[in-house]
Each structure stands twice: as structure tokens, then as C-alpha cells.
Structure 1
């Protein structure tokens, strides 16, 4: 029981570390995100986790439990590698920035979610931001599903951590120390996802 709770909590943190980077970026640039907009982002992440968890749970009915653990761990490991390679991909994408989609631009520059440049994230803008930030939640939910963790609780964990991290990091984003931490959010997320993947496999 305790092990499952810790795993769900770790998945939730890993799925939301990008939120810390986004919140810090908003704080540094004085872009406001209301409680309602933050809540909407959290709900989207929670729903993404639950939906992908159902897919993972469905797949687990047709494969052996040990194989399911390997698949879940492999997915988390692969996503961890993908997250860690993000800085390298960002350099190559810099030349093609104008051609990238809305989601891609937001992941590269969180301020791009403020479409009207009002220095405030509206509910409409929060919907797009939530979709961009939910990418890691999909992987976490799938892993929870194939390894038979409680999908609903995992989704709730993800939503709560999303709300807390985004709001908390935005509050402290105006401080230099918080800005420095923001630079390492991607590295921390990638390493945590790798650790979860290795734990699931072994």
C-alpha cells in the first residue's frame, strides 16, 4: 500500500516538474496565472492521466503482469530519455521556430501561451497550456494502468501536484534562486522518469 502511494506520488511529481519550469518562467516575466486557470491546467493533466491509465489497464488484461511491468517501465524510461534530450532538440529547433506548432512553441517558450500578450493567462490560454503540460501525464497514466496502480488516485495525485507546483513556482519565480532552479527542471524530470522506469523493470 505504502509502496503504491509512493510510486503514484513519484509519477505525479515526474509528470509535473515541467510545471515548475513554466511557473518560474511566468513569475520572472510577471505573467499572471489565476487560480481558475491553474485549476483548469491541473484538471486537464488529471484527465490525461486517467485516460491513458485506462488504455494501460486495458492492455494489461492481454499481457502477463511481468511483461506489463517491463512495458510500463520501458515507457517511463523512454520518456525520461526524451525529456533529457529536450535541450539538444531545442537547439536544433531554434532555426525552425517559426514553423513549429502551438504546442511546440509553448513547450519551448511558456510565455507563448499568452497569445494576446496581456500578461495574464486566460482560461482559453490555460486550456492550450494544459494540453502542452499534459504530455508527461500521459506517460505516467499509462504506466499506472499497466502496473495496476489505482488510475483514479494517480490522476488525483497528478492534478494536485500540478496545481501546487505551478502556483508555488510562479509565486517564487521573481526570485533569482527560483530562476536558477527552473533551469534544472527538465533535468530533474528526466532523471526521475528514468528512475521510475528502472524501478518498474527491476
Structure 2
């Protein structure tokens, strides 16, 4: 499989959560502005770019063969963590505030509306951006190890996050029961990418 296809699958895996979260916000009529979606997209792309360059700083200290294997294994572990998040029961959720645990927003997108105003605004935009960027940190370092272009991929992630989040919000009312099944795909895709890179 060529680098373009890897990059496509990688971007899809990292940004697909945005669609599921957008659907939930759309269903619950939680408003988010165009500028808010744009900011979240830049945060996701920026975090990936920063973590990619961190990965490239580590490359001189690691053999190229081992670097690719480490990157592939890391992607598999991130994918498995996504699946664990998807399948764990609701009673395993912690009671931490979203500000202290942004990952909580991935499991309960409504938690991003901290003030219950019916909209994502101000600091809440940064909270949602941080939550959607959590997976890009590990994925960025792993991506550097397996040879994915950092700047191109970061740009595509920003564009894809914008499209996915916007599309999710717009079509939220039509997806209802299907949102959860979409949420499982990022983990599966990351595991597939990792396994292919290991072979």
C-alpha cells in the first residue's frame, strides 16, 4: 500500500471522531459557530504537526527499522485504547470535570457545553478542540516514525476535522442511532494501519 493511501487512512482515522461528536451536538441542538469549528480544526492540525516534529526529533536516536515498528505498535495500541473507550460500560465513567479530563468529552460530547447554555462558545471551544486533539498527539509521533509527511498530513487533518465536524452537526438529527457505530471506526482503522506497517 502506497504512502498516499496510508495518509488518507491515517487522516480518516484521526478526524472521524469529529463527525460522531458533531452528530451528537446536532441531535441535541447544541450550537457551535463557524469560527469555533475553524478554531477546533486548527488546534487538531497544529497538535498533530507539533507532535510529528517531536517524533522527528527522536528519529536520530532510533534505528529506522525499529522506528517504523515502534510507530506501528503505537498506532495499534492507540487503536486498542479507542476500542476500549467505545466498549467500556457507562458506569466506568469517572466524575472528573471536563476541564481536568478533556477525554471525557469524547465519550460524552454534551460535557463540552460546561455552562449548559445550549452552545459551544468561548473556553468551551478550546475544551472541545483539546478533546479532539488527544489522539493526534500519539498519532503524530507514530506518524513520524512510519514516514508520513507531517505538514501535509496536519493540513489534511485540519481540513478533514472541519468537514467532519460541520457535516456531523448538520446531519446530526438524521443519524440518531447510527452515531455510536461510526465511533468504533477510528480505532479499527488505526489498528489496521499499524498491522499493515508491521508486515
Normalised by the size of structure 1, how large is the TM-score?
0.91
The superposition leaves residues 105-128 of structure 1 with CA deviations (integer Å, 9 ceiling, x where unpaired) of 322211111122221211421111
After superposition, where does 1:112-127 map in structure 2 within 5 Å? Answer: 112-127=111-126
The superposition leaves residues 98-155 of structure 1 with CA deviations (integer Å, 9 ceiling, x where unpaired) of 5773414322211111122221211421111000111111122112211232111111
Q: Is the 8 A contact 1:41 1:126 kept in 2?
A: yes
Q: Distance in 2 between matches of 1:47 and 1:181?
A: 30
Q: Distance in 2 between matches of 1:51 and 1:15?
A: 15
Task: Tell me the secondary structure at the aligned position of residue 128 of structure 1.
Answer: helix
Is there any run of 5+ residues in structure 1 with no aligned partner, and where?
A: none
Q: Is the 8 A contact 1:72 1:147 kept in 2?
A: yes
Paired position in structure 1 for 2:76: 77
Q: Distance in 2 between matches of 1:11 and 1:123?
A: 30
CA-atom RMSD in angstroms: 1.8
Q: Is the 8 A contact 1:15 1:136 kept in 2?
A: yes
Q: Is the 8 A contact 2:79 2:186 kept in 1?
A: yes
Q: Distance in 1 between matches of 2:103 and 2:146?
A: 30
The superposition leaves residues 23-75 of structure 1 with CA deviations (integer Å, 9 ceiling, x where unpaired) of 01001101111110001111110011011101111122221211111011011
Q: Is the 8 A contact 1:144 1:154 kept in 2?
A: no
Paired position in structure 1 for 2:95: 97
Q: Distance in 2 between matches of 1:149 and 1:8?
A: 7
Is there any run of 5+ residues in structure 2 with no aligned partner, and where?
A: none
The alpha carbon displacement at 1:92 in A equals 4.2
| Number of residue-to-residue matches in the alignment | 198
Paired position in structure 2 for 1:181: 178
Q: Is the 8 A contact 2:41 2:161 kept in 1?
A: yes
Normalised by the size of structure 2, how large is the TM-score?
0.92
Moved over 6 A (4+): none
